[in-house]
Structure 1
Amino acid sequence: MSMDEDEVLKQARTSGLTYNQAKAYIARTTGGKGTHIYSNTDTEAVRQKNAASMSRKQR
C-alpha cells in the first residue's frame, strides 16, 4: 500500500458511520420502502393497540 492509500484508510476509519450503519440509521429514523429489516417496532403490540382503539370507537 502506498502512503496515500494508508491515509485514506485512516481517514475512513475515523470519519463516522460506515455505509451500512448510515443506511440502517436512515431506515430506522425515516422509514421508507424495504426498510422493515431495520425496524425495531413490536408489530404485535401495535396490532393490539390498534384493535383496542377500534374496539373503543365501535362502542
Structure 2
Amino acid sequence: MAKSMEPNRNQKNVTSSGADIDEVKRQNANSGLSYNQAKELLAKQTAEREMAQNDYVHEVGKENL
C-alpha cells in the first residue's frame, strides 16, 4: 500500500535533531524585535534626535544675532 503524500496533522513538525519547528516559530514570534528591526528603530531615533538638535542650534543662533 502506498503512503499518502499529505502530512499527518497529528504528527509534530520536527527537525532531524528533534527540535519542534512549530514551537520554535511560536517562540521567535514572541521574542521581540529582530536584529534588523532594532537597527532600523535606532537609526530612526538617532536621525530624529539629530534633527531636533540641529533645530535647537539654529534657533539659538538666531537669538544671538
| Both structures adopt the same fold (TM-score exceeding 0.5) | no
Classify the TM-score, shorter chain: 0.3 to 0.5
Greater RCO (Cα-Cα under 8 Å, separation 6 or more): 1
Larger Rg: 2
> Given the two structures, how large is their TM-score scaled by the length of structure 2?
0.42
